[in-house]
Structure 1
Amino acid sequence: MDLYTNFIQTDRQEQLYQRANRLADKIRDRRKQADHEASLPVSNVADLRKERYLSLTLPKEYGGEDLSLYEFLLVQEVLAQGDGATALSVGWHLGVMKELSEEKLWDTKKFEFLAKEVGEKQTLVNRCATEPATGSPTRGGMPETTAAEKDGYLIVNGKKTFSTMALVLDYYIVTAYVKEKDAVGSILIPKDIKGLRVEKTWDTLGMRGTGSDDLILENVQVPKENLVELNDKPKRPGPKGWLLHIPACYLGIAIAARNDVIEFAKNFQPNSLNTPISEVEHVRNKIGEIDLKLIHARNFMYSVAEKWDAYPEKRSQLMQELGAVKLVATNSANEIVDLVMRIVGGRGLSKNMPFEQYYRDVRAGLHNPPMDDMVLSLLAKNALS
């Protein structure tokens, strides 16, 4: 079954698919390296820049290609088949730029500066919001990182965890409590600045190649103009379609595992059988179950993305669907890779085969936002209200 036949609808999407597929082939060869070193390979970043992948979600006037949400998910799902960690990492960058351009969170001058950096130089940027004491920012904790005004500058001090791509980022968008404003703000900080350093702490079970190390800020001095966002009043978070890059990534990993296990099943014939294991009924049933789960999760994801693109005036009504897509996709991806491991058997745990990394990487999706409990709570609240 060609998993993409039903999802590529236009010539432009076909071209985007081919572009992402070229990159997937290249980064696949470095997947083990990324996993071993627990960092995003600089060669992967160079390949992304060469293909001008980092500006895909920017408006065309800044050198981007103004990807719709549907197209964004399409390329990310393909890229994740090469390396899930690289796809998830660059997905944050692309998502941030999509959010900034669509939601007009910064004033025009500040956004144009960063947009031109990305469009012209393929600059890499990400938000750094998570902290040891606060956990996920989606839970609403107040940042302990602080910014204080002094002589026309902001002096930033603090520590950020889960700082994806920390070692290779060009700019960090750091959340901090701004003392003089008594509010939480976001500060744009360039990489080559005194007092900023990356502490190599990322040593996890899965998604090791994201290099989500700690970012340390010690008396980092930036102009006051680098305060790009200020939330002086708590506001209820709205739906963020770009976060569907997360389920797209984990479904991409599941597709890679599915494709590899089919090849394995067609070619593996133990001496106890007269045929490859692809002819064994319980193996065929598991492969059928894998494709059923993929059809279900992917059709759900892409249908919600189509809704988001087609009816922008109704996006505020999609909060439940967006959360449900993430829950269904990441849980389905885990179930799919578990089925893959049952087909391969004990040899699938070997580092000489790709399956054990799929198994580890896909589990990280359960811990990306929004969490399952928050999604289920929202669904229940809306059902009972």
Structure 2
Amino acid sequence: MASSIAADRFIRNDKEAEIASRSERLAAVFAERAAKHDEEGTFPFENFADLRQDGYLKLTVPKRYGGEEASLYELVLAQERLARGDGSTALAVGWHIGLMLQYRYTHPWPEALYASFCREVVRDGAMINAFASERATGSPSRGGRPETIAVKTDGGWLISGRKTFSTLSPILKHFTVSAAIAGGDETGDFFVRKGPGVRVEETWSTIGMRATGSHDLILERVFVPDGELISRSGPDFPPRKADDGGGWLLHIPACYIGIAWAARDFAVRFARQYRPNSLPGPISELPHIQQKIGQMEADLITARTLLYAVADRWDSRPEGRIGLKPELGLAKYIATNHAIGIVDQAMRIVGGASLSRTLPLERMYRDVRAGLHNPPMDDAVLRGLALRALAEE
């Protein structure tokens, strides 16, 4: 582990080395549990207890509230290595630490609520996620109006509806939801505490990322006080949140590159060690195996280089963050598609044994495909790049 950190050219200082070391230590533990949770489709509560114990959940909380105030670059570094142990855990916790980084820069919440929640993250290991997807609307990035409804009542709101893809739902005590405001065309985002009227319906049964706990969340006349309305659309309610280009979403490509990196490592070790009796040495000496390893290396280096370069630009040039949206999307597009290719090459190297559930590659193969369905989608990324090119004089 220590040698891999020392050899990684993307680790630039002692702080980043410490962040990487913690993630590698946790990843080694999570890797031992990953197959069982994948097979059973269960949520890895013990992994999150370890994340809380090691302080990982406060990674992106501001220092003034007791957090580590990690940069986007450091978030990517942490998530990439965590995913080498278990993609489901890394993707799930990525929504929490990613949102906490976004909130730090965009200030969407009332300050008192934000300060209180940050302290709860540091003190108790609280987590957050934003639930916006619904069966009728699909991904919120497509712009559909929520069917979840918020009705005004004395001192607050009553919210009813169903949210899908509610990652972390088995463990969260707090989350935000988007809802249409009854009686008009406005929508709002609300801070909700798990309690009366909130229940989780265990609907998550997929071929990949089986342990993220992305079940349906059902709200039945859940009361939210006025002070916990985060934002509201409409001319009388100016946007509270600043636009930072969405850099926090780089936690997604970091996760999938981490999975691919683990698959690459497995295949390279296998190639060094596997010696069929028809050959004088290991299969790593065969030209076609070296070709596949070289392709994995090319894809991994390309994806990581772009990912870290964009994260570094986002950190170092705050004034240019909005303009980085196409590059942020491209980093995700390259990472997820290259990750799929890397895992495919790893399975070709290992051969038929790679399909066995006794090896981790078949789980990695299933997990990386989930990246195609995380935002931003491939078509949106390519359209954004096309529109920018067409707008050039």
TM-score (norm 1): 0.96
Q: Which residue of 2 aligns with 1:35?
A: 38
Once the two structures are overlaid, the 10-residue window that deviates more, 3-12 or 140-149, is 3-12
State the distance in 1 between where 2:211 and 2:118 align: 26
State the distance in 2 between where 1:2 and 1:24 align: 14
Q: Which residue of 1 aligns with 2:178?
A: 175
Deviation, 1:39, is 3.4
Q: Return the match for 1:297 from 277, 296, 303.
A: 303
State the distance in 1 between where 2:342 and 2:250 align: 19
Q: Which residue of 1 aligns with 2:234?
A: 232
Q: Say if 2:326 is the partner of 1:320.
A: yes
Q: Which residue of 2 aligns with 1:364?
A: 370
State the distance in 2 between where 1:214 and 1:36 align: 20
State the distance in 2 between where 1:320 and 1:224 align: 36
Structure 1 residue runs of 5 or longer lacking an equivalent are none
State the distance in 2 between where 1:310 and 1:383 align: 25
Q: Which residue of 2 aligns with 1:212?
A: 214
Q: Return the match for 1:111 from 105, 109, 114.
A: 114
State the distance in 2 between where 1:286 and 1:2 align: 22
Q: 1:268 to 1:347 in 2, by over 3 A?
A: same
Q: Which residue of 2 aligns with 1:223?
A: 225
Deviation, 1:268, is 1.4
Q: Which residue of 1 aligns with 2:252?
A: 246
- The one-letter amino acid of 1:157's match is S
Deviation, 1:271, is 2.1
Q: Is the 8 A contact 2:132 2:163 kept in 1?
A: yes
State the distance in 2 between where 1:152 and 1:380 align: 48
Once the two structures are superposed, the pairs formed by residues 143-292 of structure 1 within 5 Å of their partners are 143-179=146-182, 182-191=185-194, 193-232=195-234, 239-292=245-298
- Local SS of the residue matching 2:129: strand
Q: Is the 8 A contact 1:110 1:228 kept in 2?
A: no
Q: Which residue of 2 aligns with 1:341?
A: 347
Q: Return the match for 2:75 from 72, 77, 96.
A: 72
State the distance in 2 between where 1:252 and 1:47 align: 19
Note the aligned Cα RMSD (angstroms).
Answer: 1.7
Q: How high is the sequence identity, in percent, across the aligned residues?
A: 49
Q: Say if 2:5 is the partner of 1:5.
A: no
Deviation, 1:37, is 2.8
Deviation, 1:178, is 1.9
Q: Is the 8 A contact 1:320 1:379 kept in 2?
A: yes
Q: 1:238 to 1:56 in 2, by over 3 A?
A: closer
Structure 2 residue runs of 5 or longer lacking an equivalent are none
State the distance in 1 between where 2:154 and 2:382 align: 48
Q: Say if 2:90 is the partner of 1:84.
A: no
Q: Say if 2:18 is the partner of 1:15.
A: yes
Aligned residues: 384
Please give the per-residue CA displacement for 1:149-193, whole angstroms capped at 9, x wherever unaligned.
1222311100000000111112111111122674211111112x1
State the distance in 2 between where 1:149 and 1:39 align: 37
Q: Say if 2:377 is the partner of 1:375.
A: no
State the distance in 1 between where 2:234 and 2:41 align: 37
Once the two structures are overlaid, the 10-residue window that deviates more, 118-127 or 32-41, is 32-41
Q: Which residue of 2 aligns with 1:49?
A: 52
